[in-house]
Amino acid sequence: MDIGFIGLGNMGAHMARRLVEAGHHVVVYDTRQEAIGNLTARGAVAARSPAEVADMAETVMASLPTPDVVLAVATGPRGVIEGKRVRRFVDLSTTGAVMAQHIFKLLAARDIVQIDSPVSGGVRGAERGTLAVMASGPRAEIAAVEPALTAIGKVFFISERPGAGQTMKLANNVLSATAMAATSEAMVMGVKAGLDPRIMLEVINAGTGRNTATEDKFTHAVLPGTFDLGFAAGLMMKDVRLCLAEAKTLGVPMEVIEAVARLLQRTCDEFGAEADITAVVQPIEARAGVKVRAPQN
């Protein structure tokens, strides 16, 4: 299958690589030449703009950091909307349902179908091809691209309604953010009381408190002090804000998520928006006067 891929960041580079390795003809574009070069060395073809990608492939996928960037790439000057060959735009980014619906309408006016298809599973999932792919849009169009999407993960059909995949992704991400925030507070409390953080994680993971933070994030990024999961706190802050905005529109109270947003904002303010999501524990550590660390065996 001829596939265009725009956005070769921490997630996109792995997804594009997996498409190449699966035997697809992949045309790539990114604002960084180094990222393009890494993929062309594996067999991808370089393009000079999103429009050129859309001139060369019927299916164009994108993995981009923010809603405004997705909008510009999809519908702006030299964007996908100007491509001569493109028939469908598969958005793997997290934009929120309102933006997804807006882009869907703009592209539909040019007979381009948007498949709203955010992913979850982190950099490791992108690298291994084990992402959860949350697809919404016309069933026939999703079926047409599913053989390619299976190269990057497990495909879940969410709905034919534009934006439904985004709502699913936001629900997932606020749970992930909440697990990280709550686990940070619990772990800091235990360490301040004199508990060994390694034993704490063993007990929690054998009990009812286990979650993605205890099973993965703390073990691999917090205890060794590397803070290198590969997903920025600022990007999670963006996702949480999108979720809060959607919940407000729907009339759903989210008091817990509002508290998580405050901790994320504090992390971004004190350690920078580019700080790893696992750095959420650090403002709590700083105020408690302890660090949740343990040397790796």
Catalytic residue among 84, 169, 217, 238: 169
Q: Is 287 exposed, middle or buried (0-12, 13-18, 19+ CB in 10 A)?
A: exposed
Q: Is 206 exposed, middle or buried (0-12, 13-18, 19+ CB in 10 A)?
A: exposed
Residues in Cβ contact with 12 at an 8 Å cutoff, skipping those fewer than 6 apart: 5, 6, 30, 62, 63, 64, 92, 126
- Nearest Cα to 97, choosing from 225, 250, 257, 242? 242
* DSSP per-residue string spanning 140-204: HHHHHHHHHHTTTEEEEEEESSTTHHHHHHHHHHHHHHHHHHHHHHHHHHHHHTT--HHHHHHHH
Q: What angle do CA 229, 234, 106 make, to 5 degrees?
A: 110
Inter-axis angle of helices 97-108 and 67-75, nearest 10: 0
Active site residue 169: yes
Q: Provide the token pair at 108.
A: 């539909």
User: Active-site positions?
Assistant: 169
